[in-house]
Amino acid sequence: MQIDSKLPNFRALSPAQRLKHIAEAANLDDAEYALLNRPGALPLDIADGMIENVIGTFELPMAVAGYFQINGRDVLVPMAVEEPSIVAAASFMAKMAREAGGFRTSSTGPLMRAQVQVLAVSDPYGARLSMLKHKEELIELANSRDKVLIGLGGGCKDIEVHVFPDTPSGAMIVAHLIVDVRDAMGANTVNTMAESVAGRVEEITGGKVRLRILSNLADLRLARAQVRYSADTLTTKEYTGEEVIRGVVEAYQFAAIDPYRAATHNKGIMNGIDPVIVATGNDWRAVEAGAHAFASRSGRYTSLTTWEVANNGDLVGTIEMPMPVGLVGGATKTHPLARLALKIMDVRSAQDLGEIAVAVGLAQNMGALRALSTEGIQRGHMALHARNIAMSAGARGSDVDWVVKKMVAAKDVRTDYAMALLAGPRDA
């Protein structure tokens, strides 16, 4: 399916007009159109089967980021999020990136780790070698639990054994089952495999198996993206492109050396990634956990992105991080809008989805760094946030735009000011 991700004047359209455009662009059928055209797309009976103690459903705004071009292919990106400015920033930076060919992405295979913790071993190094001697047997045992995955080319591919000779609980060894989970996120698969080998591991090591569970530090399942911006592209009325590039690089370097800055810097990256993960019904907590652990892999928390200046003066941004997402199983298959989000993106594999997500994260990061290094983060953010403020103050209909216009003009975006405006006389 050939998609045009350019969305000119999209913000000026009504929600109904936007939906009509996306439905045509993504070739949605009448039933899919209807799902997005009404609230409550998640039926209560389905919600009740997804988690415990269900009393209702909770909705988030669902938007589409436009202009993304990834490996030469246009992609419309559904995003479910409550915070203003995120979708606008991602779309704007994607639009600017098109001038240099958009985003280039790649990824490793969909490998997840299952950990099997073994205690009560007096010879941990000897126990490690004993496990490695029986590695093929343990791999075969793990794979006996999921013939479907094996048929798809996945399954347990390797086993690592890590030794912790001196812990408060005594000597400990931890086996890592390295599992190719194909297009699944893989949590249930790897957990089942870890459970299946536990008894045999105890026999081999003479120890006692405790935890048998996946690791959310999916450092073998990485997604990468890179992007390039020329100085001409980044030039504004107030700043030269070279000034913007210098500001972005200096802002990145701050995040690279200071964990206090890096925490906010990486949160901005996840502002782009999490809404894609949520929209597709994937586990955003797992993605967050892996991202922040990966950012600390050097022993110091640092930036997930890099920003550099190329020989020709272009700004070059890159990101590499764990991306444990799936297209099958869980809410991704159960939630009607999650399935629809995947159709709108026209994703072909879990790796494809992960690459799109990190491209959006890189765009989001660039939007934040560009704003921070020029006019400041509040100028654009607060202008978009003003609509929320106006509505929380009680504005409805045409009053919303009027109050927003007044607050932005006054550079004073506050709920009490919005309430005062609504209580006073109307003017032009």
Enzyme catalytic residues: 83, 267, 283, 381
Return the closest-CA partner of residue 29 out of 293, 340, 297: 340
Please, what is the Cα angle at 15 between 12 and 20, to 5 degrees? 100
What is the SS3 string spanning the chain? CCCCCCCCCHHHCCHHHHHHHHHHHCCCCHHHHHHHCCCCCCCHHHHHHHCCCCCCCCCCCEEEEEEEEECCEEEEEEEECCCCCHHHHHHHHHHHHHHHCCEEEEECCCEEEEEEEEECCCCHHHHHHHHHHCHHHHHHHHHCCCHHHHHCCCEEEEEEEEEECCCCCCCEEEEEEEEECCCECCHHHHHHHHHHHHHHHHHHHCCEEEEEEECCCCCCCEEEEEEEECHHHHCCCCCCHHHHHHHHHHHHHHHHHCHHHHHHHHHHHHHHHHHHHHHCCCCHHHHHHHHHHHCCCCCCCCCCEEEEECCCCCEEEEEEEECCCCCECHHHHHCHHHHHHHHHHCCCCHHHHHHHHHHHHHHHHHHHHHHHCCCCHHHHHHHHHHHHHHHHCCCCCHHHHHHHHHHHHHCCCCHHHHHHHHHCCCCC
* One-letter identity of residue 280: T
Judge contact between 322 and 294, C-beta under 8 A.
yes
Radius of gyration over every alpha carbon of the chain, rounded to an integer in angstroms: 25
CA angle 17–65–4, rounded 5-degree value: 75
Closest to 233 (Cα-Cα) out of 224, 242, 225 = 242
The encoded tokens of residue 153 equal 């080319």
Between CA 324 and CA 329 the distance in angstroms is 13
CA distance 136 to 145: 15
